[in-house]
């Protein structure tokens, strides 16, 4: 619900189209990952779960790119600050959804192998 509310708050404010494109891509990727991880869970597919978890790096990369564009946009035009606060919220929520999907992937791996396996690159997450 927070993402929907932030979308409403952006209306009527100066916006940053490049950030909105990244948000659109993040949304598409997170949705696709969620569908796939639920499929992996139902099918006990360890390989698919690991593949899905591996794509979280794309979400993290888009988060960092969007964050930089938002900061640059505010510096270039302070009137974009209102929309940018919503952008920050949305990209953070999408990034967290990606992290939750990785947690689900870890559950699938544990469920199928009985082994607890870390599926993220710890050094990548330190840049967020």
Q: Is the dihedral of CA 95, 122, 39, 48 positive or negative?
A: positive
Q: Reply yes or no on whether the pLDDT at 11 is more than 50.
A: yes
A 10 A CB-CB count for 8 gives 9
Q: Which two tokens stand for residue 122?
A: 């710890």
Q: Is the pTM of this model over 0.75?
A: yes
Instruction: Determine the pLDDT at residue 126.
Output: 52
d(C-alpha 2, C-alpha 89), whole Å: 8
**Mean pLDDT computed over every residue of the chain:** 92
Instruction: Determine the pLDDT at residue 120.
Output: 77
Give me the CATH number covering residue 76.
1.20.58.220
How many domains does the chain contain in total? 1
Instruction: Determine the pLDDT at residue 121.
Output: 63
Domain limits at 72?
Answer: 2-125
| Selection from 38, 86, 46, 39 nearest residue 66 by Cα | 86
Q: Reply yes or no on whether the pLDDT at 29 is more than 90.
A: yes
* Percent of the chain topping pLDDT 70: 93
Instruction: Determine the pLDDT at residue 39.
Output: 98
């Amino acid at each position: 619900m927070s993402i929907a509310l932030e979308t409403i708050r952006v209306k009527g404010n100066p916006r940053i189209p490049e950030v909105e494109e990244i948000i659109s891509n993040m949304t598409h990727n997170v949705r696709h990952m969620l569908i796939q991880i639920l499929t992996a869970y139902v099918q006990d597919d360890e390989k698919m779960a690991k593949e899905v978890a591996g794509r979280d790096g794309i979400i993290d990369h888009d988060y960092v790119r969007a964050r930089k564009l938002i900061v640059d946009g505010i510096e270039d035009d302070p009137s974009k600050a209102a929309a940018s606060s919503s952008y920050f919220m949305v990209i953070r929520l999408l990034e967290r959804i990606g992290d939750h999907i990785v947690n689900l992937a870890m559950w699938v791996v544990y469920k199928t192998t009985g082994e607890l396996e870390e599926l993220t690159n710890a050094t990548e997450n330190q840049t967020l």
